[in-house]
Amino acid sequence: MKPTILIIEDESGIVDNIVYALKTEGFDTIWCSTGMEGLETVRSKEITLVLLDIGLPDINGFELFKELRKKSDVPVIFLTARSEEIDRVVGLEMGADDYVTKPFSPRELTARVKAVLRRLKQAAAEKEVQVEVKPSRPKDFPFEYDERRNAVYYRGVQVQTSRYEYRILKILIDHPGWVYTREQLMEMAWEEPDMSLARTVDAHIKNLRRKLKDITPDCDPIVTHRGSGYALKEDW
């Protein structure tokens, strides 16, 4: 799906230029000539970014921006005509993503649009990396794995695993206590999951149990949840 740029601007001559430039760069556009229409469109449609004129016939662009922010955090670039407007955009730190001063070239505008979207994408990617931090583990957690070697260590001893055993064990180790069904384990560990073979997961678990028991005969780290699936023991 193409990104959609909403243009809230009452001068059709300006809009024509913007629409042409944005379409050339692969964007879809929606044009609203009043603020109220624009607000409604943000509420009802999937909008990637808003170009917002400040001098609108029905509402001041700043007021509209405040209304918009109550409902949505869509990125906004102000289109400003006068220097006092620029002062307000900058001075009030309204949280807009950028502004462009009229008259502007369509090329300049599309460059700004792309820059804002790129920045947001990077910020989102960085956030995702931060969220992906591994959950904290009990101090005596006995498992470690080395992804470069496809090796799992239990109480410091390497578990001799097959490829799928390694992958299943790693999934369980990543979230002790989380119960995974056979189907989920198959989905996550196999390149081409075949649900009719989900029972083979049981066989791999059985092998893993045996190998882990060889290391600690009186402890079974894999818990079976009857009728639902498998989990790694949570308390260590």
- CB-based contacts of 27: which residues, under 8 Å, 6+ apart? 2, 3, 4, 5, 48, 110, 113
Measured between alpha carbons, how far is 107 from 102 in angstroms, rounded to an integer? 13
Residue nearest to Ca ion (CB): 55
Spell out, one character per residue from 13 to 52, where the chain touches Ca ion: x when CB under 5 A holds, - when not.
Answer: ----------------------------------------
- Give the nearest distance from C-beta 61 to Ca ion in angstroms: 8
- CB nearer Ca ion, residue 53 or residue 97: 53
User: Of 13, 48, 62, 12, which is closest to residue 32 (Cα–Cα)?
Assistant: 12
Report whether 50 contacts 76 (CB < 8 A).
Answer: yes
Residue closer to Ca ion (CB basis): 10 or 37: 10
53 interacts with Ca ion by CB under 5 A: yes
Q: By C-beta, is 6 or 208 nearer to Ca ion?
A: 6
Contact 152, 169 (CB under 8 A): yes
Q: Which residues contact 87 (CB under 8 A, 6 or more apart)?
A: none
CB of 65 to Ca ion, least distance (A): 14
> Candidates 7-15, 68-76, 121-129, 161-169 — which segment interacts with Ca ion by CB under 5 A?
7-15
Q: How far is the CB of 7 from Ca ion (least distance, A)?
A: 11
Residue with tokens 């009452």: 10
| Candidates 8-16, 110-118, 122-130, 142-150; binding stretch for Ca ion (CB under 5 A) | 8-16
Which residue among 10, 25, 28, 98 contacts Ca ion (CB under 5 A)?
10
Identify any residues that bridge with 230 across adjacent strands, giving them in sequence order. Answer: 180, 224
Listed in sequence order, the DSSP H helices in the chain are: 12-24, 35-44, 61-71, 83-91, 106-131, 163-174, 182-189, 199-215
Which of 55, 75, 106, 193 is close enough to bind Ca ion by CB under 5 A? 55
Minimum gap (Å) between residue 171 Cβ and Ca ion:
57
Residues that bind Ca ion (CB under 5 A): 10, 53, 55
